[in-house]
Amino acid sequence: MSDKVSIVFAALADPTRRTILSMLLEDDMAVTDVAHPFQMSLAAISKHLGILATAGLITQEKRGRVKWCKLEPDALREASIWMQGFGQFDRIDLDAFERFLETELSPPADHTP
Amino acid sequence: MSDKVSIVFAALADPTRRTILSMLLEDDMAVTDVAHPFQMSLAAISKHLGILATAGLITQEKRGRVKWCKLEPDALREASIWMQGFGQFDRIDLDAFERFLETELSPPADHTP
DNA sequence: GGCATATTCAACCATTTGGTTGACGGTTTG
DNA sequence: CAAACCGTCAACCAAATGGTTGAATATGCC
């Protein structure tokens, strides 16, 4: 599961991590403060933050003994593009897109209904 | 991890499943035809399709001995709304979407995990 | 009826995931 | 210096994930 989009979606698939991202929408936070509202251990939150950082969804910068977590919404861009292409494809030029698929891409197996 | 958005994101976190969704953009497909481009077993693809169906991303209808798979893009709406809460991605970048599908779709063997 | 096709089920396996606890290394403060 | 604080590391655990194989269940065709 090494491609970038997979890593981002996997990071978003956990409600704890999505909540953390929502918290960071308001402001940068220290690891301890991120962990405070949750019932789980600090180490568990630290792992979640590591996963979010690996996905590029946050960056972490240590100042003094405090490590600050900052939301990086640009990391959502590719995944968001992927989703919107599907989720709202009736609002874009689907015919043109299907022509593109037929001409530019190698077609998968034949599947006449 | 039982909430709906988590299940959708988890379903999208696998490149095989995203490729299947891309294939279904073009047309409904039978399970066997979905499986054909992949190097894994039919049973594995059947499981992936089950996960996509559980997430609501596809529906499956059996006609005769063939089970047809149909894309259900509406299932992406909640997850997409969640992402848009992070702003700046409210416009569809179709060119970027097409480039994405191209890298994800061709050649099919490249994204078998 | 009998055989081929389409798909799933069941059991199994290796790896990953999400959590815990306790020890540990930096950093600040008294 | 010593004590308190911030955060991670290491080892462990249960459960989930993604894959395999072989048997089983439907359905269609001759």
pLDDT tens for each residue of A9-53 = 999 999 999 999 999 988 999 999 999 999 999 999 999 999 999
Backbone torsion region of residue B27, taken as left when φ is above 0, otherwise alpha when ψ lies between -120 and 50, otherwise beta: beta
pLDDT tens for each residue of A58-107 = 999 999 999 999 999 989 988 888 887 775 554 444 444 444 333 333 33
pLDDT value of position A108: 33
* One-letter amino acid for residue A20 of the chain: I
Determine, for residues B37 and A5 on separate chains, whether the beta-carbon distance falls below 8 Å: no
Query: How many residues does this entry show for chain A?
Result: 113
Q: Are B43 and B50 within 8 A, CB to CB?
A: no
Residue of B nearest to A103 (CA): B102
pLDDT value of position B41: 97
Instruction: Report the C-alpha gap between B56 and B39 in whole angstroms.
Output: 25
Q: Are A1 and B13 within 8 A, CB to CB?
A: yes
Check residue A35 and report its DSSP letter.
H
Q: B102 CA to chain A: closest CA distance, Å?
A: 7
Instruction: Report the C-alpha gap between A7 and A82 in whole angstroms.
Output: 14
pLDDT value of position A86: 72
Instruction: Report the C-alpha gap between B44 and B49 in whole angstroms.
Output: 9
In b/e form, how buried is each residue of B45-72, taking b as 16+ CB within 10 angstroms? beebbebbbebbbbeeeeeeeebbbebb
Determine, for residues A1 and B15 on separate chains, whether the beta-carbon distance falls below 8 Å: yes
Chain D nucleotides reached by a protein CB under 7 Å: 5-10, 16-22, 26-28
Among A22, A81, A112, most B C-beta atoms within 10 A, so best to mutate, is: A81
pLDDT in tens, chain B (113 residues): 579 999 999 999 999 999 999 999 889 999 999 999 999 999 999 999 999 999 999 999 999 999 999 999 989 988 888 887 775 544 455 566 556 555 544 444 333 33
Both tokens of A44, joined, read 């568990």
Q: Which domains does chain B have, with CATH numbers?
A: 4-73+89-106 (1.10.10.10)
Nucleotide nearest A15 (Cα, C1'): C18
